[in-house]
Amino acid sequence: MSLPKRVVLVGPMGAGKSTIGRMLAKELGYQFLDSDRIIEERCGANIPWIFDVEGEDGFRQRETAMLDELSLKHNTVLATGGGAIMRPENHRLLKQDALVVYLKTSIDQQVERTRKDRNRPLLQNDDPEAVLRKLFAIRDPLYTQLADIIMHTDRKSPRLVVRQLVNRMNPKTPRHKRQIRKEGRNHV
């Protein structure tokens, strides 16, 4: 099986899209793109500031424009924001030429992994767990519907998730042969 032109990671806050995306890109020899970070760079402001000044709707407009631009970039691994699946018009942009991977993660793990981070405006309130639970109820069916692969991440290190993903993309190739392919010798 040949590699997909793009790998697009979807899933809730704390699923590990950014962490795993960076490692997976390295493993595949692809460019890593993180839509949240690129939006921040372009805007010259962080996500909490964008939410404060432009509201969530302003952020979602920027996000759709970013997903449109990034949908054209091949040989990339894209870490999306947790809410990228919320606008129906984004679905085509996420799926274009892509293998879509849903990093499925329990609420407990989402809470644990986002606990100390202040960069997620939707969770800056008294009961982030209740918010994550509510978002999961709405979003889990959308992530599931879009996904080509559903990868569970609980009780797995990021390294193990990456290894399992690479195996799912190319199940018959032993690791040492994948390494040779990565190095450019395709006659294994």
Ligand X SMILES: O=C(O)C1=C[C@@H](O)[C@@H](O)[C@H](O)C1
| Interacting residues of 156 by C-beta distance below 8 A, sequence separation 6+ | 164
Residue numbers 54-113 binding ligand X by CB under 6 A: 81-83
Q: Which residue is nearest to ligand ATP (CB)?
A: 16
Quick one: which of 15, 30, 36, 76 contacts ligand X (CB under 6 A)?
Answer: 36
Residue 6, φ and ψ in degrees, nearest 5: -140, 150
Quick one: which of 5, 18, 69, 91 contacts Mg ion (CB under 5 A)?
Answer: 18
**Does residue 161 belong to the site contacting ligand ATP (CB under 6 A)?**
yes
Vertex 125: Cα angle to 136 and 36 (nearest 5)? 60
**Does residue 63 belong to the site contacting ligand ATP (CB under 6 A)?**
no
Number of H helices, E strands in the chain: 8, 5
Q: Is 15 annotated as a binding residue?
A: yes
Question: Distance (Å, rounded) from C-alpha 58 to C-alpha 71?
Answer: 20
Binding-residue pattern over the window 112 to 151 for ligand ATP, x denoting contact by CB under 6 A: -x------x-------------------------------
**Does residue 13 belong to the site contacting ligand ATP (CB under 6 A)?**
yes
What 3-state DSSP class applies to 120? coil
Q: Of 10-18, 62-70, 130-138, 163-171, which part binds ligand ATP (CB under 6 A)?
A: 10-18
Quick one: which of 3, 5, 18, 68 contacts ligand ATP (CB under 6 A)?
Answer: 18
Q: Is 57 annotated as a binding residue?
A: no
Question: Distance (Å, rounded) from C-alpha 39 to C-alpha 97?
Answer: 22
Query: Closest by alpha carbon to 133, among 123, 143, 124, 142?
Result: 123
Question: Distance (Å, rounded) from C-alpha 28 to C-alpha 179?
Answer: 10
**Does residue 146 belong to the site contacting ligand X (CB under 6 A)?**
no
Tell me, rounded to whole angstroms, the distance of Cα 3 from its chain centroid: 18
Q: Is 120 annotated as a binding residue?
A: yes
Q: What are the residues binding ligand ATP (CB under 6 A)? A: 11, 13-19, 36, 79, 81-82, 113, 120, 153, 156-158, 161
